[in-house]
């Protein structure tokens, strides 16, 4: 994987985690492409940034915070995309990220196009 892509994905992932831990659902949603898809088991599937924003607002409102990724792995998915997978934990849940598809944008940043994860209390 090229170093520019890996650096962009690492920075974008850390930006999302900082936003979530700060309770900023809008900043979380801004880490997704406009037409992204997020499947959050057992909650449901969300299409587009507006639905994804509503999910993160609900979770933050319910008091979820302090997310930490455990042993994240990033693999290239072509020249302009990479897949991140990881275990994760937070104050009220834990789970597995099976696939975060981060895509390099024209400005050199990465945004989520697909996000598949599961949670357990």
**pLDDT tens by residue, 65-101:** 999 999 999 999 988 999 999 999 999 999 999 999 9
- CATH level 3 topology of 3-120: Nuclear Transport Factor 2; Chain: A, (3.10.450)
> Is 91 in a helix, a strand, or coil?
coil
Q: Do 102 and 58 meet the contact criterion of CB atoms below 8 Å apart?
A: no
As a whole number, the mean pLDDT across the chain is 95
- The answer to whether the Cα torsion of 14, 16, 18, 21 is positive or negative is negative
pLDDT of residue 121 exceeding 80, the answer is no
pLDDT in tens, 3-52: 888 999 999 999 999 999 999 999 999 999 999 999 999 999 999 999 99
Q: Is the pTM higher than 0.85?
A: yes
CA 27 to chain centre: 11
> Is 63 in a helix, a strand, or coil?
coil
Domain positions in the chain: 3-120
CA 51 to chain centre: 14
The pLDDT, as a whole number, for residue 103 is 97
> Is 75 in a helix, a strand, or coil?
strand
The pLDDT, as a whole number, for residue 4 is 86
The pLDDT, as a whole number, for residue 114 is 98
pLDDT in tens, 25-37: 999 999 999 999 9
């Amino acid at each position: 994987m090229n170093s520019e892509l890996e650096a962009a994905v690492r920075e974008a992932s850390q930006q999302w985690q900082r936003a979530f831990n700060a309770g900023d659902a809008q900043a979380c949603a801004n880490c997704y492409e406009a037409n992204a898809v997020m499947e959050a088991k057992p909650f449901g599937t969300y299409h587009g940034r507006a639905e994804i924003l509503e999910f993160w607002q609900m979770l933050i409102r319910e008091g979820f915070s302090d997310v930490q990724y455990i042993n994240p792995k990033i693999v290239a998915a072509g020249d302009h995309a990479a897949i991140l997978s990881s275990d994760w934990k937070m104050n009220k849940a834990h789970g597995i990220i099976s696939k975060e598809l981060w895509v390099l944008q024209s400005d050199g940043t990465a945004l989520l196009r697909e996000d598949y994860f599961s949670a357990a209390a």
